Structure 1
Amino acid sequence: MLEIDHLIAFLPGPPEPFPGFFLDEGTRHVGQGTRNRRIRFPRHYLEFLWIDEPEVEEASGLGFAARCARTAYPFGIVLRGRVPEGDFRRYGVPDGPTLAIHQGTSDMPFLAVAELTDDEIGGLRHKLTPPHESGAEGIVAARMTGAVAPGPALPGVSIAAAGEPSLRLLLDSGTPLVLQ
């Protein structure tokens, strides 16, 4: 079974606050040259990622600089479960899990899969933050526009080639969250 672990918005710098949502303090990704902040829910999160060490990011081989500069598609998807058919390579996150990263093109969303068993997925709960003023407790679905689909089926995510790059989240509270 595959499901959304988190969605990524690649940014040129730290995010602005989002009314109605609590942004955590985030993490520096040692060995990747990036930093983040997140809007967390019990089973998913939205990650805002930017580069804080350009030389380290370049050496990582992840290609996030183009996504953060908006010269490549600026959104991504990290799923958890069994890796689907497709062109994936293994990447060991420094001090973290091994991901299968899809070898797509710059007009595709970044796509990675954290291989977890159904039992591991069933027991997974992300670190919680204070409740969101919006009342949202989870991501129901996501829609990305302005992108080429990477190929494998993406549970809970639809992709449309038409339009400017955007990420629209449908949350369980009915509150939409739209990023461009």
Structure 2
Amino acid sequence: MLELDHLIAFLPGPPEPPDGLLLDDGTRHVGQGTRNRRIVFARHYVELLWIDEPEVERASGLGFAARCARTAYPFGIVLRGTLPEGRFRRYTVPNGPTLAVHEGDPDMPFLAVAELSDAQLTGLAHRPGPPHPGGATGIVATRLTGAVPPGPTLPGLSITPDGAPSLRLLLDSGPPLVLS
């Protein structure tokens, strides 16, 4: 079983809050050279990520600089559950978990999986985030455009190579969130 953990929008710099949604204070990813702010929901979140230490990011081997500069596909997907078929490598987040990172190409979304058994996934507690001014409490559907699909079937996600790169989220309340 697989489910969405979070989505990533790779940005050239710090973001402005989207209309009707709150951003948390975020985190500096020590050892990765990146920083983020998040739109948090009970079961998922959207990570708005940019580089704040270019030399450290280069050493991480994740290739986020090209995604933030928009010379590679600027969106990513992190799932949790059973690893699907495909080419994956292990990456240990400094002071964090080990993820399986898909060995895709620059035209594919960044894809990683936090491996959990079905029992672990079923027992996973979820915390509601702060209420958003627009009333949204969760993501209903996700569509990535302008991307080559990475291969494995991804739950609740639609990926198409047609159009300019964008991430469209249908939320349970309020207008869709579109990042491009």
TM-score by length of 1: 0.96
Structure 1: where are the runs of 5+ without partners? none
Aligned length: 180
Which residue is equivalent to 2:117?
Answer: 117
Which residue is equivalent to 1:135?
Answer: 135
Report the secondary structure of 2:35's partner residue.
strand
Which residue is equivalent to 1:24?
Answer: 24
Deviation, structure 1 residue 171 = 1.1
Report the secondary structure of 1:121's partner residue.
helix
| Structure 1 counterpart of 2:50, one-letter code | W
Deviation, structure 1 residue 127 = 4.8
Report the secondary structure of 2:100's partner residue.
strand
Instruction: Sort the Cα spacing of 1:45 and 1:30 in 2 relative to 1 into closer, same or farther, 3 A.
Output: same
Note if 1:76 corresponds to 2:84: no
Deviation, structure 1 residue 13 = 0.4
Bigger drift between 146-155 and 133-142 goes to 133-142
| Structure 2 counterpart of 1:95, one-letter code | N
Report the secondary structure of 2:38's partner residue.
strand
Bigger drift between 130-139 and 168-177 goes to 168-177
Is the Cα contact below 8 Å between 2:145 and 2:162 reproduced in 1? yes
Structure 2: where are the runs of 5+ without partners? none
Identity of aligned pairs, percent?
76
Backbone CA RMSD of aligned residues: 1.1
- For residues 1-180 of structure 1, the aligned pairs below 5 Å read 1-173=1-173, 175-180=175-180
CA distance in 2, matches of 1:126, 1:91: 24
Instruction: Sort the Cα spacing of 1:125 and 1:173 in 2 relative to 1 into closer, same or farther, 3 A.
Output: farther
CA distance in 1, matches of 2:167, 2:57: 24
TM-score by length of 2: 0.96
| Structure 1 counterpart of 2:73, one-letter code | Y
Is the Cα contact below 8 Å between 2:101 and 2:111 reproduced in 1? yes
**CA deviation map 1:63-92 (0-9, x unaligned):** 000000000000000000011010000000
CA distance in 1, matches of 2:95, 2:118: 23
